Amino acid sequence: MADVGPAMFILVAGLVAFTAYGCVYAFRKPFTAAGFSGLEVWGVQYKIALVIAQVAGYALSKFVGIRLISALGPEQRAVTLLALIGVAAFSLLGFALSPMPWGLFWMFLNGFPLGMAWGVVFGYLEGRRVTEALAALLCINFILSSGFVKTVGKWLMLGQGISEFWMPFTAGMLFLPVLLLCVWLLEHLPPPSIADQAQRSQRQAMTAGERKVLFLRYAPGLLLLVGIYLALTIVRDVRDNFAVEIWTELGFGNQPGVLTTAELPIAAVVLSAIGAMALIKDNFQALWLHHTILIGGAVLTIISTLLFQAGVLSPMLWMILSGGGIFLSYILFNGVIFDRLLAAFRERGNVGFLIYMADAIGYLGSVLVLLWRNFGRADLNWVDFFGDLCLYGGVIIILLSIISWRYFITAKRLA
């Protein structure tokens, strides 16, 4: 594969990574297709409690991943990824076999290993001249795979008679053989070439001291980016974890296919926009365009939400446009913007450290917002709740993006 051209490498490596992480999603997201109607635990709706438990495990894993993923060498990736999936699969089996309150423990255990899977898979792709194109294909999982595995989950329950508790484990097992094949293929990808290293800077495992130095060197800008990602994660997580409830309130409850089909135009736009960034050779110019996309995505989300609330946009069009605005920005933070940041300032290290630092705060915020929703605004329906998050989150993203860009301009001048 080392001898193929860039286009063929993007196609092959990108599709393998996309499929691999899509299979990871099969161990994480299918349970959100279930409603668990009428069930509560400790005064919390059972589904909300399960989502909080999984996201809490996911958030904790990000703090662990700051050290573990940033220190992971290429030779450890395959074993690490398979171990993480093994724990996740075991937790879903425990969820199926255990009485209801124990489901919270099993979902927490499920989220913990899966929170580190992204960094392992992205490690195969970072530091290349075509990283944006590869990352765009990989990140489409956030849009398509989440909806697809939830559609599979609905099919298992409605078409095959699988219970809500056994469905998540069953769905994961359906995708396991493909995942094993993809891990083998990822292991056979060539490492970044000398030309890749010359343009994007060398990538290497990082010690605790190196992580501290990198963070302190760009602390104000990194904190601003983390703030942007916090807002994005909260909005995106509500849309993703409670998509079934949102679509049901919008009148599409009897159409499970909408969980996938409504995401197709979003995926096409995001894939084209982010993938095209690979054509930009100047890393600092690309970093500026990333900030422009952040602002543009937030503006699209705000305007589409206001038009929907005013009765101008249909529910379907609102979900597509607001989703496009959210995912255009969200996907940047899953490797692309940090990859360009390291390259623009010629920093060694790896993207895993920066991704997991942002993820840790983002998912912690997501847990807190869900708790606030359950105890503080339980009377608010999911459509109104999601709409409010789109508006407030969009304003925060615009303001922080402007300040962040001003900071990095100044840092580049002083470098």
Is residue 66 within 8 Å of 362, Cβ to Cβ? Answer: no
Mean pLDDT value of segment 383-400: 96
Kindly report, residue by residue over 44-95, the tens digit of the pLDDT: 889 889 988 998 898 888 888 888 887 888 889 999 999 999 999 999 999 9
- Identify which has the larger pLDDT, 28 or 192: 28
pLDDT higher than 80, residue 119: yes
pLDDT higher than 80, residue 197: no
- Identify which has the larger pLDDT, 409 or 145: 409
Buried b (16+ CB within 10 A) or exposed e, 190-213: eebeeebbeebbbbebbeeebbee
SS (H, E, C) the chain: CCCCCHHHHHHHHHHHHHHHHHHHHCCCCHHHHCCCCCCEECCEEHHHHHHHHHHHHHHHHHHHHHHHCCCCCHHHHHHHHHHHHHHHHHHHHHHHHCCCCHHHHHHHHHHHHHCCHHHHHHHCCCCCCCHHHHHHHHHHHHCHHHHHHHHHHHHHHHCCCCCCCCHHHHHHHHHHHHHHHHHHHHHCCCCCCHHHHHHHCCECCCCHHHHHHHHHHCHHHHHHHHHHHHHHHHHHHHHHHCHHHHHHHHHHCCCCCHHHHCCHHHHHHHHHHHHHHHHCCCHHHHHHHHHHHHHHHHHHHHHHHHHHHCCCCCHHHHHHHHHHHHHHHHHHHCCHHHHHHHHHCCCCECHHHHHHHHHHHHHHHHHHHHHHHHHHCCCCCHHHHHHHHHHHHHHHHHHHHHHHHHHHHHHHHHC
Tokens representing residue 323 in the block:
């989703």
Q: Quick one: which of 155, 174, 120 has its CA closest to 352?
A: 120
Mean pLDDT value of segment 4-17: 73
- Identify which has the larger pLDDT, 161 or 353: 161
Kindly report, residue by residue over 205-216, the tens digit of the pLDDT: 778 888 888 899
Kindly report, residue by residue over 21-54, the tens digit of the pLDDT: 899 999 998 998 888 888 888 888 898 899 889 9
Percent of the chain with pLDDT over 70: 94
Distance CA 155, CA 162 (A): 9
Mean pLDDT value of segment 314-318: 94
Mean pLDDT across the chain: 87
Distance CA 217, CA 346 (A): 13
Domains observed in the chain: 6-414 (1.20.1250.20)
What's phi and psi for 37, nearest 5 deg?
A: -60, 140
